[in-house]
Structure 1
């Protein structure tokens, strides 16, 4: 059962939240950051390991060049300044899933700094700063289990040790849980477009910690922050922030003091719990990694990486709106992933009306996919099929009802639209005389509605169109039918 903190809205409005996000992203390399072990998810526990990632004595790390290229590409896509020289450091702490007793990371000399992402807000576009993007290695994974009689046991899988990560740290520019949600959504979009990560939160390849504090509105000094961990979806991050903001306000209003700590989010209960006091940077005893030289990025390497930059989501949205005359909402949906945008553009270029392609995609395809719990890749109807459907509708060869019926059949049989259309081949009635005959029949059967129309209630025309369409079993040409109904009723 969800738990809420009861803070009156007027009291809550007296305070301003300050939110910063730390996002860890696993890079999609074939091998780990400092050794040749496989970076594949899902292998049997403790099989993708070697002396380097196990931290055995005498084993030395060797930096993965592809990981550097991916991190640099991500940094450029996030508008960061990529430093010519960065330094790896040892971050010292003890945990069972960290066999070396330290994590190779970067501290005072990170790979990149001073980036930004723009997000939509109710007051317009807001730019949220990125403090730094640095490289590091992942730790292993601890699996906690109650067994038996609720006695907790912990199992350690070290396959993840040494997986290459980038940590993206935002400026404390975020002021609402909704802004945090939008920031993470845009960040994930950009990373997926660059293909540096699959950003799969269920597999742990994108993880987020949120730092949040509150302060009286108008005060410049930050309040004491709490870090919220163990949040596995953007929706839960928004909920966790909402809860934590109210909790901190309640503590202050009751005369208490917010303590700096790490808290865990419990999604089932809808609340955060204290986990431990929050470490300061000096607690980790950072010092330069003696087994790795400074990382030097030449202008040539940066230029080569920059050449691989795809057209990013926001730029692509703006171009598609201008080029295909589609709505902003359609552009937002159709650029959600790079693959989807590529497929749409291929269909739009092949069709007579890109706008109609977008409309059919939104109104006919996505609703059916959602109803059946399918992803776009599982759709029986390809973008080529949507392009064909758009052309048939544009030429008046298919009514909207016929198109819907063909889409339903395609999903039932698992066939593409083109195959279903060739087999079913629904015919439209385009002969004006045939349509006029049906209109006369409907007018004769509905004198009351005729009187209403001629009395000034012009919207009644839609009734006659519907009745004729029903009589024709959906085969009357819609544009011609509308024209002839108005003409008949006016005469």
Structure 2
């Protein structure tokens, strides 16, 4: 286990609470729609409005989503869990309490593993509990007034809570991205952060090494990974400055302002006792049979960590490659198809993680859009041309760009040759012609030859460069090396 990273002599401690909106057609305790973007208050029924005489009824699909998450994270799925009332007053909470889970959540324990650079990190989970969302206060465009939109009230959420296992903003963002990947992979959340489907709260504190945990401040509703990193970094610096100036940190809920790049206090942070939790008398305990769990397990897709393990075992990939390639089911499928078609899994991995991902990210394309630019079968053909010595690696990048920019969908082993020739990318494989160039370069560079024979490897590289230049980049580098070594022996 690596030592915690210190910032100005302080250890950073971060825990996460993530509100994941579940992909159900109706709300958690009513049949009202959860569709995004409707006119305010058009998707709030009598149950959502807490009108007298209404009673909540559990949405089975929301429970199914909780089971899927538990299976994906290696958690314990409680055979019996209990709903509670979380009491607080806020204008967008019609009942004056939120139905949530407290003492006995539906998902308990588990873990999320991910990479920070090439270092593997595992964050332990405390729980994931089902709850209803609140409404939304609207302050803009109302001429100084505020309004309440209750369309979100009752939307099903899974709140996923971690142990305080993260020690930097890099680790926090990597964790959030991995969790986002998992919930979208298994289909329980669409992951749309702008629409509020995946909202993260970061609990941040600092302490001197060996000291008890510091007082935490909770940064609420981080809705982009970029803002998440900025907010956490600012909060860390602010807390350290406060402590160094002799001030005590007060537990609080804070918001991040992207315009200023700063966090600001919203309210003092409550403890669980302030919410006066008690079991909801209108809802019976939630009972989940082992049969239901096993039926759900049979419907689960291959999980990203299992796919990554298979890529390591079947294709000999490094663990880092395998984890990166399982960013999404579509990315994993694209790599695997290219690896099988080319017979070169490591080269396929390098190209998918490299040129393919670089262009996809630069153009802000989804994987589904990117595969329309260049199919896995076309990438496999390009890789084969490298292996067969028809084009160099740099020439392959030119060919890749040509296919990508034109969206060519007809490249095949029997047709790619004309494209290579049209672009002037074919490597020189004529041994006689190449030997002539090598001899000319040796004759023209006696100083480099003498330096190489004196044991200076850089002189050899200079000779290789001269041969490549004389051949206009078309010489096969492997052949050039072999011929030069033979001539200089």
Which TM bucket (shorter chain)?
Answer: 0.7 to 0.9
Runs of 4+ deviating beyond 6 Å: 121-124
**Paired position in structure 2 for 1:81:** 76
Distance 1:120 1:360 in 2: 20
Change (3 A) 1:487 1:273: same
**Paired position in structure 2 for 1:346:** 337
Q: Does 1:139 align with 2:131?
A: no
1:337 aligns with one of 328, 339, 364: 328
Distance 1:293 1:88 in 2: 8
**Paired position in structure 2 for 1:6:** none
Deviation for aligned residue 1:458: 4.1
**Paired position in structure 2 for 1:4:** none
Distance 1:446 1:223 in 2: 67
Q: Does 1:92 align with 2:87?
A: yes
Distance 1:405 1:18 in 2: 46
Deviation for aligned residue 1:416: 4.0
Deviation for aligned residue 1:249: 3.9
Deviation for aligned residue 1:357: 0.9
Q: Please give the residue correspondences for 1:21-60 in structure 2 after superposition, counting only pairs within 5 Å.
A: 21-60=16-55
Change (3 A) 1:86 1:476: same
Q: Does 1:164 align with 2:159?
A: no
Q: Please give the residue correspondences for 1:28-427 in structure 2 after superposition, counting only pairs within 5 Å.
A: 28-119=23-114, 127-145=122-140, 151=144, 153-220=145-212, 222-379=213-370, 380-416=373-409, 418=411, 421=416, 423-426=418-421, 427=426
Gaps of 5+ in 1: 1-8
Gaps of 5+ in 2: none
Kept after mapping to 2: 8 A contact 1:12/1:246: no
Change (3 A) 1:418 1:157: farther
TM-score by length of 1: 0.86
Kept after mapping to 2: 8 A contact 1:17/1:214: yes
Q: What per-residue deviation string (whole Å, max 9, x for no partner) do you get for residues 70-89 of structure 1?
A: 11110222222111111222
State the Cα RMSD in Å.
3.0
Distance 1:252 1:433 in 2: 74
Distance 1:355 1:10 in 2: 36
Q: What per-residue deviation string (whole Å, max 9, x for no partner) do you get for residues 76-134 of structure 1?
A: 22222111111222223333333333322112221122223345579975543322211
Q: What per-residue deviation string (whole Å, max 9, x for no partner) do you get for residues 288-331 of structure 1?
A: 33332221101101111222334433343333233222334322
Mean alpha-carbon deviation: is it higher for 411-420 or for 64-73? 411-420
Distance 2:404 2:322 in 1: 25
SS in 2 for 1:75: helix
SS in 2 for 1:438: helix
Deviation for aligned residue 1:182: 3.3
Q: What per-residue deviation string (whole Å, max 9, x for no partner) do you get for residues 263-305 of structure 1?
A: 2222332322121122232333333333322211011011112
Deviation for aligned residue 1:135: 0.3
Distance 2:97 2:342 in 1: 57
Change (3 A) 1:10 1:195: closer
TM-score by length of 2: 0.87
Count of residue pairs brought into register by the alignment: 477
